[in-house]
Structure 1
Amino acid sequence: MTKKTILLSFAALTMSFAAMSQARVGIKGGWNLSNITTDNSGGTKDSRSLSGFNVGAIVDLPLVPKILSFQPGVFYTTKGSKIDAGTKSGATPTSPYLKTSVNPSYIEVPLNFVAKLPVGPSVKLFAGAGPYFAYGVGGKFKNEVYNGVTTVTTSTNIKWDDDTPFNGGDPNKALDKFKRFDWGGNVQVGAEIKNFLISAQYGIGFAKIRSGQDNSTDNKDKNRVFSVSVGYLFGGR
């Protein structure tokens, strides 16, 4: 190994340690507005957006100090959609009112690359993108039916299949279940004001979330989530 190679390797190692020494850990949380698409073009048919939340932690790892960072994180986040059909006020037995919602919740790991633009001594604007990977942990199906006389409300836990990224022969698949694993991509924009973060993000699920076989006639449901979040990064700017 030449002296030049040794010096370059030492310089790269030094820069890596310097970047790691500037790493900051933060907390972040906010409001979700989610929906579930029903076809490959991204249409949602009769489904409507459902409110939820996200909360978790991120790490800001500078790749180019003050300009480019890698931001992995781990979050608890809710997704889903709802459907309202009919009219509850004045409804008759021939035109009942139906309200149904599904709100799966996940442990989600985003892996974002974030570009930053300093616009003041303590203010940076940023934009980022990256993939996410999620694991389903809970949620409920809720139904409310009004036939003009009585209202019947039911609530059941979401059932998850036993599918994994390494198991393609799961015998427990069924369309009344959700796939345990989800993945997709997200884009975000926001501002970093001193150590505070304000951001808006849109997540696009790439994986079919309903269990069952993958074929041209199968359900095409996929997650879509718009989020507005605030956060705080501990450590120096």
Structure 2
Amino acid sequence: MTKKMILSFAALAIFSMSAMAQVRVGVKGGWNLSTITVDNSGSVDKDKSLSGFNIGVIADMPLVPRILSFQPGVFYTTKGSKLKSGDENDAVHYKFTTNPSYIEVPLNFIGKLPVGPSASLFAGVGPYFAFGVAGKNKTYTTVGGTTTTTESNIKWDDDTPFNNDDPNQGYNKLKRFDWGGNVQVGAEISNFLISAQYGVGFAKINSGGNDSNNDKNKNRVFSLSVGYLF
């Protein structure tokens, strides 16, 4: 091995150790506005959007200091949608909400543009993988001015990412695994973060058959979040 190669490997090792030494961990959370696609082209109905939240932890791992970072995380996040039948002035009308909650793992690559000694603008993209853990379906029925509420826990099938032959499938259940992609923009000021993100689910959320007739329902989530890196 030549002296030049040795020096190159040494420089790479020093750079890697320096970058890893700058790894920061933090907390992040905020507001979600979620909905579910209404057709196979991915269209959504803004009137069906549902408010929720996200909260979790992230790590910021510099690949190129102050320019490019890998930013994985683990979040508890809510998704879902709402439906309405009839107008509030009608004698009889209904409202239905489904509000599944997931443990979600985003794996984002973040490009940064320094705008000061301790401030940067950033944009990021990356996949996410999610596992359904909780949630409720609620139905509000109004007849003659009197509203009755019924609710039930969301039922999940026992699917895995590698098995489509789950015997526990059913059209009254949701698929437990979800995956998709995120895009985000934001600003980092000292240790504080503020970001806007849009998550696009690639997997149908309804359990049951795999034919194209029921592939239209997929998660969509817009989020506004704040965070702090220690």
Pairwise TM-score range, normalised by the shorter structure: over 0.9
Measured in 2, the distance between the counterparts of 1:173 and 1:47 equals 29
Quick check: 1:114 aligned with 2:110? yes
Quick check: 1:222 aligned with 2:221? no
Tell me the residue number matched to 2:208. Answer: 212
Partners of 1:36 and 1:47 within 8 A in 2 = no
Q: What pairs up with 1:1-237 in 2 under 5 angstroms? A: 1-44=1-44, 48-89=48-89, 91-92=90-91, 96-148=92-144, 150-234=146-230
Which letter maps to 1:171? P
Which letter maps to 2:226? V
Partners of 2:129 and 2:180 within 8 A in 1 = yes
Shift of 1:166: 2.2
Partners of 2:35 and 2:46 within 8 A in 1 = no
In the superposition, the TM-score normalised over structure 2's length comes to 0.95
The CA deviation string for residues 101-141 of structure 1, in whole angstroms up to 9 with x for no partner, is: 00000000000010111112221111011000000000000
RMSD, aligned α-carbons: 1.5
The CA deviation string for residues 129-155 of structure 1, in whole angstroms up to 9 with x for no partner, is: 100000000000000111226432110
Shift of 1:47: 5.7
Secondary structure at the residue paired with 2:213? coil
Identity of aligned residues (%): 67
> Gaps spanning 5+ residues in structure 2: where?
none
Which letter maps to 1:187? V
Q: Which runs of 4+ in 1 moved over 4 A?
A: none
Q: Aligned pair in 2 of structure 1 residues 175, 47: CA closer, same or farther (>3 Å)?
A: farther
Shift of 1:41: 1.3
Secondary structure at the residue paired with 1:99? strand
The CA deviation string for residues 7-66 of structure 1, in whole angstroms up to 9 with x for no partner, is: 323322221111100000010000000000021212235861000000001000000001
Secondary structure at the residue paired with 2:19? helix
Shift of 1:219: 4.1
- The count of residues paired between Structure 1 and Structure 2 equals 230
Secondary structure at the residue paired with 2:40? coil
Measured in 2, the distance between the counterparts of 1:3 and 1:129 equals 39
Measured in 1, the distance between the counterparts of 2:145 and 2:48 equals 26
